[in-house]
Chains A and B, each alone.
Chain A
Amino acid sequence: MKVILVDDEQKFINMLAKRLAFRGIQADTVFSGEDAIQKIQHSDYDVAVLDIKMPGISGLELKKKLSSLAPELKFIFVTGHGAKNTLENDLIKKDIFLSKPLNIDTLIKIINEITKK
């Protein structure tokens, strides 16, 4: 199982990566959409955990780009925003959406579920 965490809040995903590693999940971190696109071209990942709002690119736009490079990649969106229905794009309603602060057990449960399919 290999996960890529994408968020401009560097401390947040660095800490999350360490906690996932404790639980047997290898997680790489990148702090921008551009870096994620670069990284995904050189490594295989099962799941991408994306911040919805990042400088330069939205999580949704990034998903489209990453999907074209890695069609099997599964996505989980994470946001500091309050509620799912405040997000403007209907497409996101079909995706998995978690609100910060995260519950690590919930995140791992979802990672396991979506990679089983």
Chain B
Amino acid sequence: MNDAINFMNMEGLKFFGRVNASISHELKNILAIISETAGFSNDLTDLAKQGKELNLSLIESCNDSIAEEIQRGFTTIKQMNRFAHSVDVPIKDIDLLETLDLTIKLSSFLSFASHVRITNPGKEIKSVLTCPFLMQNLIYQILCFTYESVGPDGEVHLQINSEENGGIHLVFSSSGELVLEGFPNQNIQKTADILGVEFNIKTSSIEFDIWIPYASDKINLLSEEL
């Protein structure tokens, strides 16, 4: 169990850093757009001071763009805040849909991210007793792997099937073939093992699935140690 906790601490810190770096990149892009737009607005007013007619529709367009980017910034900060608070309680019941939603959004900041389409069962799914932060880490790693296989122009389809064998099945697929060589790698497998998550991989397939238990002895054991 100590080995698992050491692994969680080491990999968790790496994951935390990686996600924060991608968020800072996103925020810098937002600020860069605001900065250029404000600069352009200043250029227009400088021209007006020199006697040129002020184009009000361009000024309006600048204001709208700045407002949109500020909203994008708020949304990003909200996601950053949700992510930061995912370490508050080491083991707890989570809404997997919420965890998936946040993790997909966080991974979308990566330059190689594909578009992700989720299909859920259309009914409420039972909560999962797990380590929220580690679960995010696992899903994030799996998404990164599929993004690299599918490419930035491709689409990853994520189907959620609940109520199967005491857990939830997540089926990952894409319109093309997923290159699954080397998947799951050592880190993904070890993370999954700690969480009691199982993989069902078919080599050279267009899909693979993971099974997430609603609760597991491994998580109960971990809960006692944390």
The residues of A with any CB-CB pair to B shorter than 8 Å are: 8-9, 11-12, 15-16, 18-19, 22, 53-56, 80-82, 99-102, 104
Which residues from 30 to 48 on chain B have a C-beta closer than 8 Å to any C-beta of chain A?
31-37, 39-40, 43, 47
A20 smallest CB distance to B (angstroms): 10
Question: When chains A and B are docked, how far (Å) is the Cα of A16 from the Cα of B32?
Answer: 10
Q: Give Cα A82–Cα B47 distance, bound, in whole angstroms.
A: 34
Complex Cα–Cα for A102 and B24 (A): 16
Contact flag A100-B31 (CB < 8 Å), given A11-B65, A53-B111, A56-B152: yes
- Indicate if the CB atoms of A80 and B32 lie closer than 8 Å: yes
B residues sitting closer than 8 Å to A (CB atoms) are 21, 24-26, 28-29, 31-37, 39-40, 43, 47, 65, 69, 111-113, 151-153
Give the A-B contact count at a CB cut-off of 8 A. Answer: 66
Query: Within 8 Å CB of A54, what residues of B?
Result: 111
Task: List the B residue with the shortest CB-CB distance to A53.
Answer: B111
A9-B29, A55-B152, A56-B153 known; A102+B43 contact, CB < 8 A = no
B residues less than 8 Å from A22 (CB atoms): 43, 47
- Please name all residues of chain A whose beta carbon is closer than 8 Å to the beta carbon of B33 when the two chains form the complex: 9, 11-12, 15
Whether the Cβ atoms of A19 and B29 lie closer than 8 Å is no
Known: A55-B111, A100-B31. A15 touches B152 (CB 8 A): no
Residue from the set A8, A22, A53, A80 with the largest chain B CB neighbour count within 10 Å: A80
Q: Pick the contact of B25 from A11, A12, A80, A104 — CB < 8 Å?
A: A80
B15 to chain A, nearest CB (A): 17
* Complex Cα gap A4–B26 (Å): 23
Cβ of B44 to closest chain A Cβ, rounded Å: 9
Instruction: Give A81's nearest chain B residue, CB to CB.
Output: B25
Contact of B39 among A11, A100, A104 (CB under 8 A): A104
Q: How far is the CA of A75 from the CA of B138 in the complex (A)?
A: 38
Residues of A within 8 A of B43 (CB): 18-19, 22
Inter-subunit contact A100/B32 (CB<8 Å):
yes
- Kindly list chain B residues whose C-beta atoms are within 8 Å of the C-beta of A104: 36, 39
The 6 nearest A-B residue pairs measured at CB: A55-B152, A101-B35, A80-B28, A100-B32, A15-B36, A53-B111
Sample of 5 A–B contacts (CB below 8 Å): A9-B32, A15-B65, A55-B152, A82-B24, A102-B32
Give bound CA distance, A53 to B69, whole Å.
20
Q: Are B36 and A16 in contact (CB under 8 A)?
A: yes
The distance from the CB of A94 to the nearest CB of chain B, in whole angstroms, is 22
Q: How far is the CB of A39 from chain B (nearest CB, A)?
A: 18
Given the complex, which residues of B lie within 8 Å of A55, measured CB to CB?
111-113, 152-153
Contacts of B113 in A (CB 8 A): 55
Does A100 lie within 8 Å of B29, measured CB to CB? yes
